[in-house]
Structure 1
Amino acid sequence: MLIEKELMSPGINLVQHQNPEVPGLMFLRGSLNLVLGHLQDRNNPQIPIRAETATVKEIHSVLYRERSDKAGLSDVRPSCEEMLDICRQIMDWSPRTAHPHFVSQIYSRADLYGIGAEVIVAALNNNVHVFQLSPALTVIEKVTVEYLSDVFGFGAVGGAGYAEGAFVPGGSLGNLHALYVALHKFNPALREDGLPVNGKQLVAFCGEGAHYSIEKAAMALGIGRSNMRKVPTDTDGRMRVDLLEAAIIESVAHGETPFCVCATAGTTVLCAFDQLVPISEVVRRYGLWLHVDAAWGGAAAFSPRHEHLLNGLDQADSLTFSAHKMLGAPIQCVAFLVHARHPGLLQRAMSLDAPYLYQNSTGNRNAEPDLSRMTLQCGRRGDALKLWLMREALGDAGLSRRIDDCVAWAEGFRSEIQLRESKGSGFILYKCSFSTVCFWYVPRAMLPVRVMDLEHGTADWNVVDEIPDKVRNEMIESNDCMLVSYGSTTGLPRFFRLGLSSAPGTQAQCSSSIEIILNHIENIAERVFAVR
């Protein structure tokens, strides 16, 4: 109460105030007001994605201040108001990911309950590595892992037990954990002895559309990027199961040791879902570990309408799921799970004794779980609170509705693009899968062009390839009221890719956004490519 009264006192000298907490609390109050003001406009499609654009040099000139000496003892510090002005400027430079027309990447607006959880986690500053230093957040993480275990079918046969798991800092780190656990399952002696194993090269497999973090994990673990073998995909972007099996057979014939297959549920570009049932059959036939990168497409499990896309996921040994994508938790909120058919494996693979940290007085580690035993980390944030609070507030029905709305929005884009294509406009639909829509826009001067013309190279491939990049750059440079992204696949010109992770509201609002976004792409493309 004393500090609260001091905060309300007019004319206080923040820098020289006798209570050193007062300046920081004044800044905190002001920064929270900035955040609330920023969020107040989140549904307004009329405001630009960014309030201001700036170059690296311009940003640097504002943020960098010369120090008067190395010790900093005589520095003139900015006032609370000046610091808040700098923060306001930082926010003005930053893209509004909550904007209804931010469809640049496969994430967008942060859920408000999740933002509240983020504030609580920061204020508590609990380190979720040992139970005694984060008892509530530890239990919340355990409960949330059990919840996800049920959602993804990772419980033991008959429903007895749950998956082991933990929240990790990003989907890429989840995939790194997966390869490490797969290695440990293959040969527990790797913990002590390291690579190689019996003089044979370890090999893993993924589809050509897999996230690049799979290759990075192979690099980091010493397996080698070239030994993460990429299996060709079919026309829908799914790993070809026949070629996967052929690659495994060939690897064994060359004296190598395959140990893991990394499938994908919702690839980054085309949102393709690998066929998990036949893949799991191949994996079991050769005794390999099956990991599924479900960072994007795992959201389908929350919707009864779309969970069929994940058929066979329960046969996987591990998975990565990012709740900060389609569910809308603030970045980052990622779970890594190991199926309950491998009880205790995750902790055996990760845990080391550290008496200065693990000091459970009961001697019973199961009674008071220390979650850093489940990951490669020591220091850990309470990220699970975000998803836990969101589920409490929205319920399973609310989370399901969020997924269904996004898919319906994507279907709206697909229908409108096909309608415009049928009328002879420059739009050409390529793929629509789950909540991702891929398409080309071809300037009027080049029409008529069809998908087969692009696939067979009979159209002006180079010009079509330039269009998405030039349109996106035009949006960025003109500080436009929308932001889109593009993708590419082997042998085709680049195309617009809308990864839709947050529908803008009612059906009418979604329809309006579809019209605005497509019209804007068309107008910019026609203007930029008017004279060639």
Structure 2
Amino acid sequence: MKDTETTLTKALAILIKYLDGNLEPDTKVVNYQTANDLKEKLDLTLPDEGVALEALIPIVESYLNYSVRTGSTQFFNLLFSGSSIPGIIAEMVTSATNTTMHTYDVAPVATLMEIELIKKLTSLVGFNPGEGLMVTGGSNANLIGMLCGRHHVLPDAKLQGLGNHQLVAFVSDQAHYSYLKAANLLGIGIKNLVKVKSDVDGKMIPEALEAAIQQSLSEEKTPFFVGATAGTTVLGAFDPLPSLAEITRKYGLWLHVDAAWGGPVLFSEKHQHLLAGSELVDSFTWDGHKLMGVPLICSAILVKQKGLLSEACSGGGTDYLFHDDENNFYNLGTKSLQCGRRVDALKLWLCWKYYGKKGYEQLVNHLFDIANYATEYIRRCDNLELIAEPQFLNICFRYIPKDKQLDSTGLDQLNLDIRNRLFDSGTAFVNYAHYEGLVMIRLILANPELQKADLETFFRNLLDAGKLCVSTYAKHPEIRQTQSKGG
């Protein structure tokens, strides 16, 4: 027991130092190594004979040394960032207690916490009463949303399969790729997932949706599902839910919204208008690990029609798990596709307890203020060009050299090289994306700790990298990089 206590104490001290380093301006976001180089530096062999507990400590230190610091205020690469202390505490407790969520008996406190969380989330969305479940990511929530839609329109498919029904689903051309996987897994077929044209802002065009539905009907297919998006991955667009709901009601289709990124705007009175009409949809994807800063993975599927999750997800053969006793009502496993399901409720519950609803409203408003600051910085800078008007916390722009002698292809390569230079140096980790044939920098503002000074540091480093790349091109045009790194 003494060895356990000593090792845990050392491990905790290492983690505290690591977390403190996330907020130090001189700490690199990434200590990049090629895969081959990293394999040389690490001992990845698994021995026949085990090692002492104490021997694991330097391995943990090496792991942290070569891991990306997603909690850094210079990490802008993905739709999540930051380090939540309540969430980290919860993850430690979750691992220590090591249980599953299928019945109340085996996870009593976590079950009650999850029920309370779902009640709060469905209320925010406007589902009264509604129901929901913590799931293994936004992609999984989108899959279950589509499954619920299939069950709603074609309940016999659960037992009989699709038969001669050729189901058709509709998403925007800006929607997340998880819808493609869902169409595959549910037997709909990827070719029966119709990508509806979006407007210049990246929002699904309602008229184009209705035309696509009518086209499928004329082909004697069965339209059943519309997957809207609240916060697209590139432009941060919010589809017009009221207009889409009017169309889905007209044709009897299920309306789901992937709000994995944009859902938390509902905390903010100032910005909740972006999700106007959320109460009109049938199901809703929510990710706590994105804008709410909860550790990965923390996702939920919310459904307006109570009881539908159990109907759609159950398959029988569970008598050995679910017993008819006084706690049967609390057995959440009856709503789940999985049997073993990790306790993800504790970290979201503790974070919510810490922030409160008002704290999350302040967090959302703060990040919008930071986004406005970044936007104005780009507008004022001669070397930066805003590619799309920001709608959310996605800022899309690119570097333009003062002499402007590069053609479009050259500018694309220049921005890739700038991004790679930042990555290689460890000064910042930011992604790029394509929009209307252009390569652009996609700056994601998700870290609640972000301040204006952090953005100034980022832009200063980016502008310096741009000057170095342009200077290098002038001297050695043949050495332009051709591959991007990270993702």
Q: Which residue pairs with 1:498 in the alignment?
A: 443
| Structure ID, larger Rg | 1
Pairwise CA RMSD: 1.6
State the shift of 1:523 in Å: 1.6
d(CA) in 2 for partners of 1:357 and 1:166?
18
d(CA) in 2 for partners of 1:402 and 1:153?
21
Q: After superposition, give the CA deviation of every residue in 1:171-205 in whole Å (9 maximum; x if it has no partner).
A: 00010111111111111111111123xx2311000
Map 1:229-240; keep pairs closer than 5 Å.
Answer: 229-240=194-205
Q: Which residue pairs with 1:192 in the alignment?
A: 159
Q: Structure 2: 5+ residue runs without aligned partners?
A: 478-487
d(CA) in 2 for partners of 1:498 and 1:470?
16
Q: Conserved in 1, the CA contact under 8 Å of 2:422 and 2:461?
A: no
**Match 2:366 to one of 383, 405, 411:** 405
d(CA) in 2 for partners of 1:468 and 1:357?
55
State the shift of 1:503 in Å: 4.0
- Whichever residue aligns with residue 409 of structure 2, its letter is N
**TM-score, structure 1 normalization:** 0.86
Q: Which residue pairs with 1:425 in the alignment?
A: 383
d(CA) in 2 for partners of 1:204 and 1:370?
32
Q: Conserved in 2, the CA contact under 8 Å of 1:266 and 1:272?
A: yes
Q: Which residue pairs with 2:209 in the alignment?
A: 244
**1:344 paired to 2:289:** no
State the shift of 1:145 in Å: 0.2
| Other structure's SS at 1:401 match | helix
d(CA) in 1 for partners of 2:420 and 2:380?
27
d(CA) in 1 for partners of 2:280 and 2:317?
32
d(CA) in 2 for partners of 1:150 and 1:393?
20
d(CA) in 2 for partners of 1:276 and 1:354?
38
- Whichever residue aligns with residue 335 of structure 2, its letter is M
Q: After superposition, give the CA deviation of every residue in 1:1-59 in whole Å (9 maximum; x if it has no partner).
A: xx4xxx2xxxxxxxxxxxxxx4x444333222221111122221221113x33222233
- How many equivalent residue pairs? 471
**Match 1:137 to one of 110, 119, 137:** 110
Q: Structure 1: 5+ residue runs without aligned partners?
A: 8-21, 156-161, 448-458
**Match 1:511 to one of 438, 446, 452:** 452
d(CA) in 2 for partners of 1:356 and 1:350?
18
| Other structure's SS at 1:133 match | coil
Q: Conserved in 2, the CA contact under 8 Å of 1:200 and 1:255?
A: no
- Whichever residue aligns with residue 213 of structure 1, its letter is S
Q: Which residue pairs with 1:460 in the alignment?
A: 407
**1:300 paired to 2:269:** no
d(CA) in 2 for partners of 1:222 and 1:529?
50
Q: Conserved in 2, the CA contact under 8 Å of 1:211 and 1:268?
A: yes
d(CA) in 1 for partners of 2:46 and 2:207?
62
**Match 2:319 to one of 333, 355, 361:** 355
d(CA) in 2 for partners of 1:323 and 1:169?
11
Identity %: 33
**Match 1:39 to one of 12, 19, 38:** 19
**1:172 paired to 2:172:** no
Q: Conserved in 2, the CA contact under 8 Å of 1:426 and 1:444?
A: no
Q: Conserved in 1, the CA contact under 8 Å of 2:322 and 2:328?
A: no
Q: After superposition, give the CA deviation of every residue in 1:252-278 in whole Å (9 maximum; x if it has no partner).
A: 001110000000000000000000000
Q: Conserved in 1, the CA contact under 8 Å of 2:419 and 2:430?
A: yes
**TM-score, structure 2 normalization:** 0.93
Moved more, 405-414 or 25-34: 25-34
Q: Which residue pairs with 2:484 in the alignment?
A: none
| Other structure's SS at 1:465 match | helix
d(CA) in 2 for partners of 1:120 and 1:317?
34
Q: Conserved in 1, the CA contact under 8 Å of 2:82 and 2:449?
A: no
| Other structure's SS at 2:90 match | helix
Map 1:362-401; keep pairs closer than 5 Å.
Answer: 362=326, 365-366=328-329, 369-401=330-362
- Whichever residue aligns with residue 310 of structure 2, its letter is Q
Q: Which residue pairs with 1:108 in the alignment?
A: 81
d(CA) in 1 for partners of 2:300 and 2:468?
45
d(CA) in 1 for partners of 2:63 and 2:278?
42
| Other structure's SS at 1:348 match | helix
Q: Which residue pairs with 2:424 in the alignment?
A: 477
d(CA) in 2 for partners of 1:467 and 1:431?
22
d(CA) in 2 for partners of 1:473 and 1:440?
14
Q: Conserved in 2, the CA contact under 8 Å of 1:177 and 1:375?
A: no
State the shift of 1:514 in Å: 2.0
State the shift of 1:296 in Å: 0.2
d(CA) in 2 for partners of 1:66 and 1:251?
54
| Other structure's SS at 2:29 match | coil
d(CA) in 2 for partners of 1:63 and 1:41?
25
d(CA) in 2 for partners of 1:289 and 1:381?
29
Map 1:309-328; keep pairs closer than 5 Å.
Answer: 309-328=274-293
Q: After superposition, give the CA deviation of every residue in 1:53-76 in whole Å (9 maximum; x if it has no partner).
A: 322223334232264xxxx3xx2x
**1:486 paired to 2:444:** no
Q: Which residue pairs with 2:399 in the alignment?
A: 441
State the shift of 1:444 in Å: 2.2
Map 1:51-90; keep pairs closer than 5 Å.
Answer: 52-61=31-40, 62-65=42-45, 67=47, 72=48, 75=49, 77-90=50-63
State the shift of 1:322 in Å: 0.4
d(CA) in 1 for partners of 2:387 and 2:183?
35
| Other structure's SS at 1:446 match | coil
- Whichever residue aligns with residue 527 of structure 1, its letter is L
Q: Which residue pairs with 1:99 in the alignment?
A: 72
**Match 1:274 to one of 215, 229, 239:** 239
